[in-house]
Amino acid sequence: MTKMEFLNELRSYLHKLPVSDQEDILSDYETHFEHGLGKGKTESEVIQSLGKPKLIAKECLADYYIEEERPERPSSRRFRSTYMLIGLGLFNLIFLVGPFIACIAVVFSFYVTAIILCMIPLVALASFFIVEPIEGVFSLFVSFICLGIGLLMWTGLNRFLIVVYQWFIRYIKSNYKIIKGEAR
Amino acid sequence: MNVQFKKGVLTLCVLVLAVKRDRYGYELVDAISEKFLIAEGTIYPLLRRLTKEGYFTTYLVESQEGPPRKYYQLTDEGRNYAQGLVKEWKSFSASVNQLIEEGIEDDKDGILE
C-alpha cells in the first residue's frame, strides 16, 4: 500500500463526517507521513506502524458519535414523548372511552331508577286518595318498600361514584406521569 | 491488552508528555511508540478528542527543515485532568504491584521468576 492508497482508504471510511473534519484528520496523517519520510522511513514502514485505516477511522467515528449524541438527545426525547402522548391518546380513545361512557350510562340509569323508586310513594298516595282505598293500602306498603330500595340505591350509588371518581383521577395522573416521565 | 485499558493509558501518556512543554503530533507518537507497541494512527484521533474536550489547544508552527508542526498545548483543565489521571494510575499500579509481590512470595515453584 502506498501513502495515497492509505489516505484514500481512510477518507472513504470517513465519508460520514463533515468535510472540514475529514480534511483535518487527513492532514494530520499527511503531516505524519512527511515527518516519517523526513526521518528516513519508507512509506510502507510508516503505514505499517500507523495501523489499519479502518481502525483509525473507527476511532475517529467513535469520537464523532459520542460528541453528536449529546445535542441529539433532547429532540429525540421530545419526539418520543409526543409519540407516547399520541399512543396513549389512541389507546384511551379506543379501549377506555367506550367502557367509560358505558359505565357513566349505567350509573346514570341506576340513579334514574333510584329517583323513580323514591317517587313511587307519591303515586301510591295519590291512588290511595283518588282510586280505591283498600287496594291503595297494599300499594302504599309496596311503595314504601320501593322508597326504601330507592334510598339504599341512592347512597350506594353515591359511594360507588366516589370510588369511580378516585380511579379516574388516579388513571389520569398515571397517564400524565408516563408522558412527563418520558419528557424529562 | 484490553483495548479500553490501553486507551486510558494512552490518554495518560499523551497528557503527561505535554506537561513539561508543548509537543507536536509526530513527536508524541514517536515518544510513545518508542516505549511500547501501539497502532500509531490511533494517537491522532485521541489528540483530536482531547482537544475537543478542552484539554488541549493547538497551534501551527512552520518548520524550516520539515512539514508544519501542529503543537498541542495543555489547558488548565488539561493539567488538572492529567494530575487526576496520574494519581489514579499511581494507586492502581501500586495495587497491581502489590498483588504481583504477593504472588511472587507465594510462588514456591518459581514460575514468576
- The predicted complex's ipTM stands at 0.84
- What is the CA angle A139-A141-A144, rounded to 5? 110
Question: Alpha carbon of B86 to those of A34, A68, B10, B31, B43: distances in Å?
Answer: 33, 29, 12, 18, 19
Write the residue in A32, A52, A62 that is nearest to B25 by C-beta. Answer: A32
Each residue's pLDDT tens digit, B13-72: 999 999 999 999 999 999 999 988 888 999 999 999 999 999 999 999 998 878 889 999
Report the domain count for chain B.
1
* Cell 297494599 -> residue: A138
Q: What is the CATH number of the domain that holds B48?
A: 1.10.10.10
Q: Judge whether B111 lies within some domain.
A: no
Each residue's pLDDT tens digit, A103-137: 889 989 999 999 998 888 888 888 777 776 677 77
Contact predicate B75/B57, CB 8 Å: yes
Domain boundaries, chain A: 3-73, 76-183
Provide mean pLDDT across the span B83-100: 93
Supply the mean pLDDT for chain A: 84
Q: How far is A48 from chain B (nearest CA, A)?
A: 9
Contact state of B42 with A36 under an 8 Å Cβ cutoff: no
* Residue B16, Ramachandran bin (φ over 0: left; ψ between -120 and 50: alpha; else beta): alpha
Q: Judge whether B81 lies within some domain.
A: yes
Each residue's pLDDT tens digit, B58-69: 999 998 878 889
Q: Judge whether B112 lies within some domain.
A: no
Cβ neighbours for A161, distance < 8 A, ≥ 6 positions apart: A107
Q: What is the pTM of this model?
A: 0.57
Q: Judge whether B11 lies within some domain.
A: yes
Domain that holds residue B11: 3-106
Report chain A residues whose CB lies below 8 A from the CB of B59. Answer: none
Q: How far is B73 from chain A (nearest CA, A)?
A: 16
Query: Could you report how far apart the first and last alpha carbons of chain B are, in Å?
Result: 22
* Cell 408522558 -> residue: A179
Q: Is B72 exposed, middle or buried (0-12, 13-18, 19+ CB in 10 A)?
A: buried
Q: How far is B48 from chain A (nearest CA, A)?
A: 8
